[in-house]
Amino acid sequence: MSSLLQLLPFFEAVARLGSFTQAANQLGVTPPAVSQNIQALETRLGVRLFNRTSRSVRLSDEGRLFYQRVAPAMGQIDVAAEDLRTLRGRPSGLLRITLPQLAASLLVIPHLADFQARYPEIQLELFTDDHFSDLVLDSFDAGIRMHAMLQKDMIAVPIDNGQKRVVIAAPGYLAQHGTPQTPQALSDHDCLRYRFPGSGKFEPWYFKQDGAQLTLEVGGSLIFNEDRLIKDAALAGLGITQRFSGTVHRELSSGQLVEVLADYGSDAPGFFLYFPASRHMPLKLRVFIDFMREKRAQQSPFENSLSAH
């Protein structure tokens, strides 16, 4: 019979991933083996830890309470194992980062080959999500978000030199509908809008006008929750949008898109890497932080772009 300690990794993986199949893939076993171990743990504890349907696996109320207690302990076990690996002087193990798709595209993906070449024993898992995650509860090592907005007991470090917002449209759209000369003139245009998946709120558009920041809620018939789709819609001549310059650098250079309202351009603070404040930092996280800082030092302001991709 497996001990309680042997059963916990199966529970933690299913709770975190929400899938027996994904947990099996991560643990290197079969889905039936995961199911059997979960059943053994539930029998041991005398409670149902998961509510299962043909389409989903969700924590029960008892399972959620158990996970809140178990996840930090499992993290400490990982830290202890990392300590032993650190003695060998080579960072290794699974490094889990939560970040928005935009940050992944701008800041991480372009440098992945370099990071893997330097640290081949680190398994880097990128979980793209526009919500703020509870790093400890969700078993993430660190997160990347815009602004230095912190949860309790977190540290944030800047990993880029800021972002520049640009208002863009396809030449064909401007030829048909005209070019706005002021931010207020956008009310006469079809603006391609972004809705935040978590809050359901629309992303405001930001400008500088008469020395002050201006925030506008624009209108339009097309709404998206994916930055890439907004760019595709702009390229198709379906409207005007405001995005970060790095995401449309190539299209601006080629003339597929045109910047408008350049005199009213507004800067954003950039992205920050945040992680739990602790006297002990796993080596795998330390080298990732140093790596991202190194890449930031090599950038000029607003240099981040997807032009090479």
Residue 77 has what pLDDT? 74
Give the residue carrying structure tokens 């809620």: 217
How high is the mean pLDDT of the chain?
86
Residue 172 has what pLDDT? 97
Residue 242 has what pLDDT? 96
What residue ranges define each of the domains in the chain, with the CATH number in brackets? 4-66 (1.10.10.10), 90-154+271-297 (3.40.190.10), 163-268 (3.40.190.290)
Q: Where are the alpha helices (DSSP H) in 204-280?
A: 227-235, 249-254
Residue 73 has what pLDDT? 79
- Alpha-carbon separation of residue 252 from 207, 228, 247, 289, 304 (angstroms): 19, 15, 10, 31, 14
Residue pair 50/38 in contact by the 8 Å Cβ criterion: yes
Residue 148 has what pLDDT? 59
Residue pair 146/213 in contact by the 8 Å Cβ criterion: no
How many other CB atoms are there within 10 angstroms of residue 295's CB atom? Answer: 18
pLDDT in tens, 144-169: 988 756 666 788 888 888 788 999 99
Q: Span 204-215, mean pLDDT?
A: 91
Q: Where is average pLDDT lowest: 3-12, 68-77, 190-199, 288-297?
A: 68-77
Residue 189 has what pLDDT? 96
Residue 151 has what pLDDT? 65
Q: Is 165 helix (H, G, I), strand (E, B) or coil?
A: strand
Residue 305 has what pLDDT? 45
Report the range out of 52-56, 197-201, 288-292 with the highest average pLDDT: 288-292
